[in-house]
Structure 1
Amino acid sequence: MSTADVETAPTAGLEPEVGIAQAVGAGVVTALVGFTSTFAVVLAGLTAMGATSAQAASGLFAVCVTQGVGILLLSRRYRMPITLAWSTPGAALLAGTGAVVGGWPAAVGAFVVTGVLIVATGFWQRLGALIAAIPVEIAQAMLAGVLLPLCLAPMRALTVSPAIVVPAIVVWLVLQRFAARWAVLAAFAVAAVGAGIDIVVTHRSLELAAMVPRIEPTMPHWSWQALIGVAIPLYIVTMAAQNIPGTAIMSSFGYRVPWRSAMTVTGLGTILGAPAGGHAINLAAVSAALSAAPAAHPDPKRRWIAATTAGGCYLVLALASGALVTFAAAAPDGVLETVAGLALIATLAAALTAALTPTDNRSAAAMTFLVAASGVTVLGIGAAFWALVAGLAVRWFLRPRPEPSPPEPSAVATRPASPES
């Protein structure tokens, strides 16, 4: 059922063991690339929302576990390489929004509401149609505006920790030329080595007890500012920048994602992970191709093995959440922000291209981008929401007005003459 329209590629001459090993390797790469390339963005977003180091580590642990379990459920049930990911644009949105009225508990409440909206999208077509009705240019402009301050972080960090930041940027740039997939991972490795040397030289100690992964539950609190300023933009950016592109990428490889099941699993995963600090999980977009492409397995009906492997790897990687947060807290200023900024540059470029290339809504998209990048907060509501409002308002104001149609000739001819004539 799930792969009815996927043609099986010829596998003559390929040993079954070799094909399985190829799929397992692709799954490991999928998880490693997905985790290492953007975990810094997740930590930056949760911390900006008011999470302590322990709560941020718990949130990273939660999204790893929920997406890992979700991948195992969906890929095995439908025998398709369905991979999930945490919402990287959503984490960037949180980092740009900052603390909200009600603090961290209110942010957790907003995460729960986001999950509820994702589940509702799978069952209520009108809600999905409403999101699809938002012009792509405006949604991408909002995302680009949110990403801009984060992508500037490496430049600011050059003056704070140049001995660590400069080598990381150079390695990232070189690998962008020769092996772009590994650029962020290599930059993180260089930054980690530099931070480790700095920690040893300055005799700073690491709290070993904090490296043990654990859950830090938070009772959700609901404030209207957090619902409007966090939940709604987080839902929109997760749907527009992750779930919808994710289904398109899977379709390009011949797979039709079971929409209702995918939204139910990711929405429930978001709801269950929220009290532990997880912000949102969704269909993978860019990393989806690593498990769905022919490189994962020549036979499309066997690529689900790659996705299942990725799900298992995420459960293992979750165990490193506490250690990563502890290490990041002890690292020199600007190191974590540098890794996060480098990880988001490609996303920023894609968002700007999608926002400003079409001419129809360019002015509205530019206004959306500027408001989102400004970081302005009004009535306790962050810039992302006001950016959407501003962009849609400008689009409505500038839309072409239909010209009045001329009267029918027959109506003019038969009009009665006035008494004066």
Structure 2
Amino acid sequence: MLQTFASPISSLLDSRADGHSLPAGLYIRDDVFQADLDVFFRKHWICVGLDCDVPEPGDATVVDIGNSSLIILRDDDNQIRVVHNVCRHRGSRILNAGSTVISKLVCPYHQWTYELDGELTYAPHMGADFDKSCKSLRPVNFKSIGGLIYACLSDNPPEDIDRLEQVMTERLAPYDIRNAKVAHQTDVIEDGNWKLTIENNRECYHCSANHPELCVSFVDLDFGFDPEALSPEDLEEAREHEALYAERTRRWEADGFPSAAVEQLVGCATNFRTQRLIIAGAGESQTPDATAASSKLLGSITRKDLGDTHLWGHNSWNHFMGDHAIVSIVIPLSAGKTLVRTKWLVHKDAVEGVDYDLEKLTDVWVATTDQDSELVARAHAGALDPAYLPGPYSRFSETTLDKFATWYIERMRAHGY
């Protein structure tokens, strides 16, 4: 265990065995956490919010990533802006955490004042020769992809986000997420490393034993199974399910809804996976009875049988269904604490208590997130234990975890570790 803490990060990366979880130090060490922040949350594209977080001009919300603080806002021309929450005078924070409505950005320290496009317009007591034109708020590289806001804090953001943009712009168009509204939001702080949070989300090996609410609508076999572990009856059911997937995907795509799996998981900078999944049971939505929670469907959607368009990134997961969408954003707080911010989206005109029931809308993923939080805490406690040794991933149910660990090592090395 002492070697885990004494060895350089590069030695930990070198010691990772193919097909196995990461060495303990990569989950629990503070120096690794700081490296992760720099590599994966400053130099890669991360999901930070939604267009509909700021639906009207003057709406603003603050998102903190490590020591960086970002302001997402909508300006007077109805355009989304993302700027650093750092006054150009002496660096004071301009806005507090959370959401607000503003007409201008005014630094509370010395009242330097900026327009909503970031232009500095008022800097008292700086003299007549002071040039305000070069002191605008620093912009952040960002892209709005189908209403999801991705930001990169580097001046040289990875170019391969273009594939994510190409794939998801088409897939998300019918849901019109830009014009949805946030019906509910939760912030859950998990007692575990951010990579354990992502790993837990990328497999459903654990679902049947831990997520009874989710399994009403979610098919745990979708992400792999060991055919030798199933009874002949269960194996036949699994084969029938695979055949149903092929047929359902063919029909969806024939109707103009892209559905087949698209993966960019290794050998890349921007990590993502998307696929239209079958919803079990009543087949409409991820709710306690798998029926739609909102009678007013999203965007231009007119049918409830379009399944669940899921999207993974390295700090987010999303589920887009006919009646509502779920967007979860992962923000690391420390080596052993991770914020999971979940938003439930409905049609912008949907009225709570009339078009949707909030409890039905949120029950499944409130329960699932709480259950996952406990599982992540257990995994992190195990990584802290001197008895921990990296374990083998299932080659049937955890192939995406193996790819995530491989990608993690690749990107760390690409940035000099």
TM-score (norm 1): 0.23
- Whichever of the two has the greater Rg, that structure is 1
Q: Which has the higher contact order (CA 8 A, sep 6+)?
A: 1
TM-score (norm 2): 0.23
